[in-house]
Amino acid sequence: MAFENLELATEDAGLPPVGAEGCFQVYQRELDYLLGSLRRLGVPYADLEDVVHEVFLVMHRRWQDYDRARPLRPWLFGIAFRVASSHRRKSTREVLTDTYDAEDLGTRPDDAAAAGETRSLLLKALAQVPLERRAVLVMHDVDEVPMREIAAEMGLPLFTAYSRLRKARKELDSALSRLSKGGRW
């Protein structure tokens, strides 16, 4: 089967297209999802453009290995999570202030248009949940990914995934109530 025909066939079946061009199309379609996920994973707005480009490069590199029978977004989130973790570690190479997250997660024009203060508050509260647990919480409670899929994508035992979700929910609730007691909600 010719390459072009194969690409059309997979698209017709509702599966992500193959090849570099297919990878680019999926990236284009899922760009908003990736940007939102990276923000929720604590990537500062100023670094968003670079980090999402890194995600694209990884995505492109692994595109051939992606199992098209599995849902796309958990796979994309897994890449975004790893790139965001790496970015966070790399940032420690430079001199940063202690208030890195709190400052950079402040309201930006796009966020303000989206949900204003409440979103800024949620991002600040999420920033107080450790990244590994935050990733599970965001996948489950925002993206509505089943726990088995999350565990498979993150390479975790199912029990560990549940444990992380449990802790993350507690941490998020208490972070939000702390912020609300501070008169910010």
Partner 1 sequence: MDTRIPPLASATRALLSQERLLPSADRALRDRILDRARAALDERPSGITLRPVSPHHPARPSSRWARILLPTAATLALAGLAAAGGKLYDSERSLTPGQQSLMGAPAMRHRPKPAPALAMTNLADAAPLVVEPAEPPRARAAGNEPVRVTSPSTYAFELRLLEPARRSIARGNFSEALPAILQHQREYPRGQLVEEREALRVRALWGMGARNEAESAAAVFRRRYPHSGLLSWMKAATPAR
Q: Which residues of the shown chain bind partner 1 in the complex (CB under 8 A)?
A: 20, 24, 27-28, 31-32, 35-36, 40, 47-50, 52-54, 56-57, 60-65, 75, 78-79, 86, 89-90, 92-98, 109-110, 113-115, 118-119, 121-122, 141-144, 147, 155, 158-159, 162, 165-166, 169-170, 172-173, 176
Q: Looking at beta carbons only, is 4 or 90 nearer to partner 1?
A: 90
Q: Looking at beta carbons only, is 122 or 127 nearer to partner 1?
A: 122
Check: CB of residue 154 under 8 Å from CB of residue 81: yes
The angle that helices 147-154 and 158-179 make with each other, rounded to 10 degrees, is 100
Q: Looking at beta carbons only, is 13 or 95 nearer to partner 1?
A: 95
Q: Looking at beta carbons only, is 13 or 159 nearer to partner 1?
A: 159
Specify the residue for token string 């560990």.
160
Length of the chain: 185
The angle that helices 3-12 and 19-29 make with each other, rounded to 10 degrees, is 30
What φ, ψ does residue 95 adopt, rounded to 5°?
-80, 120
Check: CB of residue 33 under 8 Å from CB of residue 52: no
Q: How far is the CB of 1 from partner 1 (least distance, A)?
A: 21
| Two tokens, residue 127 | 């920033």
Q: How far is the CB of 85 from partner 1 (least distance, A)?
A: 9
Q: How far is the CB of 19 from partner 1 (least distance, A)?
A: 11
Q: How far is the CB of 83 from partner 1 (least distance, A)?
A: 9
Q: Looking at beta carbons only, is 12 or 154 nearer to partner 1?
A: 154
DSSP 8-state secondary structure symbol assigned to residue 140: I
**3-state SS class at 94:** coil
